[in-house]
A and B are shown apart, each in its own frame.
Chain A
Amino acid sequence: MSMKINTHAKSAELFQRAAKVIPSGLYGHQGPAEGCCIPVSAYPLFSQKAQGSYFWDVDGNKYIDYMCAYGPNVLGYNDPDVDAAVMEQMKIENCVTAPSTKIIEFAELMVDTVASADWAFFAKNGGDTTTAAIMTARAATHKKKIIFVNGYYHGVAPWCQKIDYPGVLPEDVKNNLYVDWNDFEGLKKVVEENEGEIAAFISTPYMHGNFVDNILPAEGYWKKVRDLCTEKGIVLIIDDVRCGFRLDLAGSDHFYGIEADLICFCKALANGWNVSALCGKDWLKSSISGLSYTGSYWMSAVPFAAAIACINKMKEIDLPKICLEKGTMLTDGLKAAAANNGFNLSVTGEPALFYLMLKDDDSLMLHQEWIAEVVKRGVYMTNHHNHFINASLTDEDVKHTIEVAEDAFKAVRKNHPELG
C-alpha cells in the first residue's frame, strides 16, 4: 500500500500571514531558512497540537518528531508527571517578588544529580548559561581570551557569533581563539602562544556540527584537555545544552570521564518548560556570585517545578538507557533501509542525538531530497542538524520510521534513474 504524502497548503498560507508581522516569517532555527527546510513546500511550518512523540501540523498531518523541539521534548510532549507538577505549582505561585523555595529544591536536586556540580545558577535559555559561564571564567581568572572548537555553536550572544555575522563587531570576537575538534596538540599550541591570557576553553562534549559527520572524542582526549586546563588555570566549560541528560544524568562530562569546571544545561532540563542551568565547581562560586547578570523570569517557580519533576522522572526511567537503545534500534534500521536501496547513509554522533548524512553525492542534494520524502511521509527530520530521541518513542514508532525511510529511499531512486 502506498504511503500518504502530506501537503502543507495551510502552513504556506499562515507563513504569508506571519511574514507580514514577524521578521522572516519565522526566524531562527525553527524557521524554514535556518532550519534548512529544502524544499520549503515539503515541510510543516506550524503545529496545532502535540502529544508524546508526535505533533500535528496546521494541515492536519501527523508526524513522528525526531527534532523534539530541537531537544526540549525529552520525556514526550505533555508528559503527565511534568505537567501535573506544573499545574500544581501554577495554583500556588510563579513569578513573585520574593522567589519561591522551589529554587532551593531545584538547586539541591541539580547538585545531587550532576557529578561536577557544587552549585546551580538558573536562567532561561542555553545561551544565558554559556554567557554566564564565560563571564564567570573571566571574572575568576581576570583573563580575556576564550578558546573555541571550530564548528562550534554556543548560542547567539555576540561573543559566540562570528566576525562575519550581521550585527557582530570585530571587537565582539577579537578575544576568540579557535582550535579543531580532537586536536589536543593544536590546543596545546594555542595555549602556549597565549600563555597567561586564556580565561576558558568552551566545548560541547563531542563535535556535533552541521554539514559534517559528528565526531566523538578520541581516546584520552578529554582527560588530556582536563589536565591541561588544570595546569594552566584555564576554566573548562562544557556546553551540555544539547546533549545534557540524554547521555548521562550526571552530565556529559561524567559520561566521558572528566569533571568540568562549569557545565551548561537547558534543552532536556524541564521537558519544554523554560529554564536553563549553569552548574559549577565550588572555587567559581564566589566569582559568579559577583556577576551583574539576571533576568525578569529567571526565578519563576513553575519551570522549576517542571524541571524537578522532569529530572526525577528521567532518573526513574533511566532516560540515557532508553535513548541509547531506541537510538541504536532506529539508526541501525535506517542504515539497513539505505543499504537495501543502494544508498550509503552515514550515522554519526551518539545514538541519542544521531546525525544523518547520505554520502552518495557531495552536494548533499540527494540527502535533502531523501529527508524531504521522509517528512512528506509523516516523519519529521531535518537535513543538517542532529536529531533527538525522546522517552515516549515506541518500538512501533521506530518500526514505522524505518518503513517510511525505506519508502522515501525508493522514491529518491525512482526520481534518479541515472543512479542505476
Chain B
Amino acid sequence: MIDQKTLAYINLYGVLGTLENLCELAPEAQSILTNKKPISIGFDVKGGPSATITFNNGRCRMEQGCAKCDVKLPFSSCEKFNGLIDGTVTPIPSKGFLHIKFLLNDFTKLTDLLNKYMRPDPADLEDPDFFRISTSLMLYTITVAIAQIGNNDEIGKFSADHMVDGEIAFSIKDGPSSTIRVKNHRLLGIKKPCESPRAIMEFSSIQLARDLFDGKVNAIACVGSGDIVMRGMISMLDNLNRILDRVALYLA
C-alpha cells in the first residue's frame, strides 16, 4: 500500500525538509550549528526527488535540485534513499569527502535531534516547550507530506484530482499555521500561514492537534465537538482529509 517513490518525496521534502524548522525552533539545533562554516548537502535520488540542504549561520534552508552542493549523496533508487531515513542504508558521498566530518557528526546530531522531536519519548512531551516544538514540527512535516502524497501516490492523486484550485489554511489556533496550495490538481505545502484561504481547517489547540497527529482522535469526530473548525470550500477539506489518512500510513 506504500509507494516507495512517494515515500522518498516525503522523506526528503517532508522529513529532512523539517530540519529548516528544527533549526529555527529548537535551541539545541542552533547550538550544534554555532560557529560552523556554511555547508550544503545534496540528495540525489534516481527516479525520485533531489534537493540541497544548506546550513549557514545557524539556519537551514532546503532547495530543490542539487547542482550546487558541497557534499553530494547519490542514491540508486527511492528504496535506497528511504533506507537512509529508516537507518538501514549508509550513504556514500560522490562529492565532498572533505566534509565527511560534518556529515558524520553535526548532520547526524541534527537528524537524531529531529527524530527525538518527531518520535518523542512520552516523558519529553511533559515539557511544554518540547511539546510545542514537537507538535509544530509535526504540522510542518504533515503539510509537506500531504502535498507529496497528493502529487505522487496513486490514491492521493485521485483525491487531488477532485480538489479545486485555491489555498487551504491548515492551522492550530494560537499556534503554527501552514498552507496547502492547490493549482491544477497539483499540491504545494507551504510552511507559512495562509493569507487568502479558500478553505480553513483549524485545530482548537495544540493538544488537540497532537492527539490527531498521534491518531488518538478522529477529525470527523472533532468537527462535531467543535475541536476542529472547517469552513469554506469543504470539498477541498474532504479530499485533504482523505490524503491526511494516508499521511499516517507513510509516516508511521
By a CB distance below 8 angstroms, the chain A residues around B218 are 24
**14 A-B pairs (CB sep. < 8 Å):** A19-B221, A33-B221, A33-B223, A33-B224, A34-B220, A38-B234, A40-B223, A40-B226, A164-B159, A164-B243, A165-B242, A166-B245, A362-B233, A363-B198
Say yes or no: is B130 at the interface (Cβ < 8 Å to chain A). Answer: no
User: By CB atoms of chain A within 10 A, which of B155, B158, B223 has the most?
Assistant: B223
Could you tell me if A32 and B223 are in contact, using CB atoms closer than 8 angstroms? yes
Say yes or no: is B197 at the interface (Cβ < 8 Å to chain A). Answer: yes
A19 in complex: contacting residue of B166, B197, B224, B232, CB < 8 Å: B224
How far apart are the CA atoms of A89 and B245 in the complex, in Å?
47
Could you tell me if A15 and B158 are in contact, using CB atoms closer than 8 angstroms? no
Could you tell me if A211 and B231 are in contact, using CB atoms closer than 8 angstroms? no
- Which DSSP category, helix, strand, loop or mixed, fits chain A's interface? loop
Could you tell me if B225 and A36 are in contact, using CB atoms closer than 8 angstroms? no
**In chain A between 16 and 47, which residues have their CB closer than 8 angstroms to a CB of chain B?**
16, 19, 23-27, 31-34, 36, 38-41, 45
How far apart are the CA atoms of A33 and B231 in the complex, in Å?
11
User: By CB atoms of chain B within 10 A, which of A34, A40, A368, A384 has the most?
Assistant: A40
Say yes or no: is A111 at the interface (Cβ < 8 Å to chain B). Answer: no
Distance to closest chain B CB from A79 (angstroms): 31
Distance to closest chain A CB from B134 (angstroms): 26
Say yes or no: is B31 at the interface (Cβ < 8 Å to chain A). Answer: no
Q: Which residue of chain B has the shortest Cβ distance to A162 in the bound complex?
A: B158
Could you tell me if B220 and A170 are in contact, using CB atoms closer than 8 angstroms? no
How far apart are the CA atoms of A15 and B223 in the complex, in Å?
11
Digitize B10-35: 1 where CB-to-A-CB distance is under 8 Å, 0 elsewhere: 00000000000000000000000000
Say yes or no: is A339 at the interface (Cβ < 8 Å to chain B). Answer: no
User: By CB atoms of chain A within 10 A, which of B156, B224, B233 has the most?
Assistant: B224
By a CB distance below 8 angstroms, the chain A residues around B111 are none
**In chain A between 151 and 194, which residues have their CB closer than 8 angstroms to a CB of chain B?**
162-166, 170
Distance to closest chain A CB from B49 (angstroms): 23
How far apart are the CA atoms of A165 and B156 in the complex, in Å?
10
Could you tell me if A39 and B226 are in contact, using CB atoms closer than 8 angstroms? yes
Q: Contacts A24-B221, A164-B246 given; 11 further ones with Cβ under 8 A?
A: A15-B225, A19-B221, A19-B224, A36-B234, A38-B231, A40-B224, A45-B224, A166-B245, A210-B235, A363-B197, A363-B199
- Which DSSP category, helix, strand, loop or mixed, fits chain B's interface? helix
By a CB distance below 8 angstroms, the chain B residues around A32 are 223-224
Digitize A357-387: 1 where CB-to-B-CB distance is under 8 Å, 0 elsewhere: 0000011110010000000000000011000
How far apart are the CA atoms of A39 and B232 in the complex, in Å?
11
Distance to closest chain B CB from A143 (angstroms): 24
How far apart are the CA atoms of A374 and B223 in the complex, in Å?
21
By a CB distance below 8 angstroms, the chain A residues around B198 are 362-363
By a CB distance below 8 angstroms, the chain B residues around A16 are 225
By a CB distance below 8 angstroms, the chain B residues around A34 are 220
Distance to closest chain B CB from A132 (angstroms): 27
How far apart are the CA atoms of A362 and B235 in the complex, in Å?
12
By a CB distance below 8 angstroms, the chain B residues around A12 are 226
How far apart are the CA atoms of A364 and B229 in the complex, in Å?
15
**In chain B between 139 and 169, which residues have their CB closer than 8 angstroms to a CB of chain A?**
155-156, 158-159, 166
How far apart are the CA atoms of A365 and B239 in the complex, in Å?
18
Q: Which residue of chain A has the shortest Cβ distance to B167 in the bound complex?
A: A363
Could you tell me if A164 and B225 are in contact, using CB atoms closer than 8 angstroms? no
Distance to closest chain B CB from A21 (angstroms): 12
Distance to closest chain A CB from B156 (angstroms): 7
Q: Which residue of chain B has the shortest Cβ distance to A211 in the bound complex?
A: B235
Could you tell me if B221 and A23 are in contact, using CB atoms closer than 8 angstroms? yes
User: By CB atoms of chain B within 10 A, which of A33, A166, A211 has the most?
Assistant: A33
User: By CB atoms of chain A within 10 A, which of B218, B221, B233 has the most?
Assistant: B221
B232 in complex: contacting residue of A15, A25, A363, CB < 8 Å: A363
A163 in complex: contacting residue of B158, B166, B199, CB < 8 Å: B158
By a CB distance below 8 angstroms, the chain B residues around A15 are 224-225
Say yes or no: is B212 at the interface (Cβ < 8 Å to chain A). Answer: no
Could you tell me if A38 and B220 are in contact, using CB atoms closer than 8 angstroms? no
User: By CB atoms of chain A within 10 A, which of B166, B231, B239, B246 has the most?
Assistant: B231
By a CB distance below 8 angstroms, the chain A residues around B246 are 164
Say yes or no: is B208 at the interface (Cβ < 8 Å to chain A). Answer: no
Could you tell me if B242 and A164 are in contact, using CB atoms closer than 8 angstroms? yes
**In chain B between 197 and 236, which residues have their CB closer than 8 angstroms to a CB of chain A?**
197-199, 218, 220-221, 223-226, 229-235
Q: Which residue of chain B has the shortest Cβ distance to A38 in the bound complex?
A: B231
Distance to closest chain B CB from A237 (angstroms): 23
**In chain A between 304 and 344, which residues have their CB closer than 8 angstroms to a CB of chain B?**
none
Q: Which residue of chain B has the shortest Cβ distance to A45 in the bound complex?
A: B224
User: By CB atoms of chain A within 10 A, which of B199, B235, B243 has the most?
Assistant: B235
B230 in complex: contacting residue of A24, A38, A41, A45, CB < 8 Å: A38
Q: Which residue of chain B has the shortest Cβ distance to A367 in the bound complex?
A: B232
Q: Do A365 and B223 form a contact, CB below 8 Å, given A163-B158, A170-B155? A: no
